[in-house]
């Protein structure tokens, strides 16, 4: 039983592709008798001809990946692209190191925990890259007895 014409008309009425038209195999004789668009519309109303749902691409895997990345996973050396300093440039790294050091030095000077001369000496050392972190600088100050507590 050839119902390709009815399928084509139904696709036109349903405003979709021919492959998305589902015809009830129980009522093929009714479909065969339908020759006009009005006949097809009646069959659609009865539920004999139905428009299939569009096939999509699942977002589940992508969402799962995104969730893992949000947690901080999947960021190991195998996932990294580019040079050593491409993710955080050298300048940004330096800024992130020097700002806390300088602000700590200012606080110590204002609290009079260190003298002005000591402040200048440590400030110059920090500028020269002598300290890795605030903790490193504190250790240096303790070792050299620079804290006047």
What mean pLDDT comes out for the span 97-126?
Answer: 96
CA dist 137 and 143 (Å) reads 10
What is the rounded CA–CA span in Å between residue 10 and residue 18?
Answer: 8
Where do the domains of the chain lie, and which CATH numbers do they carry? 4-51 (1.10.1650.10), 90-143 (1.10.1200.60)
Over residues 116-132, the mean pLDDT reads: 97
CB 10 within 8 A of CB 21: yes
Q: Is 149's pLDDT higher than 80?
A: no
- The more confident residue out of 87 and 126 is 126
CA 56, distance to chain mean position in Å, is 21
Per-residue pLDDT at 80 exceeds 70: yes
Higher pLDDT, 149 or 108: 108
All residues at 6 or more sequence positions from 116 whose CB lies less than 8 Å from its CB, including other chains: 109
Sole residue written with tokens 């002598």: 130
Judge contact between 35 and 59, C-beta under 8 A. no
Overall pTM surpassing 0.75 (yes/no): no
Please tell me the predicted confidence (pLDDT) of residue 11: 96
> What is the model's pLDDT at position 27?
92
How confident is the model over 22-63, as pLDDT tens digits? 999 999 999 999 999 999 999 999 999 999 999 899 999 999
Q: Residue 3 and residue 11: Cα distance in Å, rounded?
A: 12
pLDDT band with cut points at 50, 70 and 90 for residue 148: low
């Amino acid at each position: 039983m050839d119902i390709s014409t009815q399928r084509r008309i139904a696709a036109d009425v349903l405003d979709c592709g021919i492959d998305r038209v589902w015809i009830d195999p129980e009522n093929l004789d009714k479909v065969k008798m339908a020759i006009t668009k009005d006949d097809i519309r009646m069959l659609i109303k009865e539920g004999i001809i139905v428009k299939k749902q569009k096939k999509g691409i699942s977002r589940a895997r992508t969402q799962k990946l995104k969730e893992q990345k949000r947690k901080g996973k999947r960021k190991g050396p195998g996932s990294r692209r580019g040079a050593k300093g491409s993710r955080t440039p050298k300048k940004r790294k330096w800024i992130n190191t020097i700002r806390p050091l300088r602000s700590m030095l200012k606080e110590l000077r204002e609290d009079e925990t260190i003298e002005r001369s000591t402040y200048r000496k440590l400030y110059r050392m920090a500028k020269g890259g002598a300290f890795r972190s605030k903790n490193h600088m504190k250790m240096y100050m303790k070792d050299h007895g620079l804290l006047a507590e």
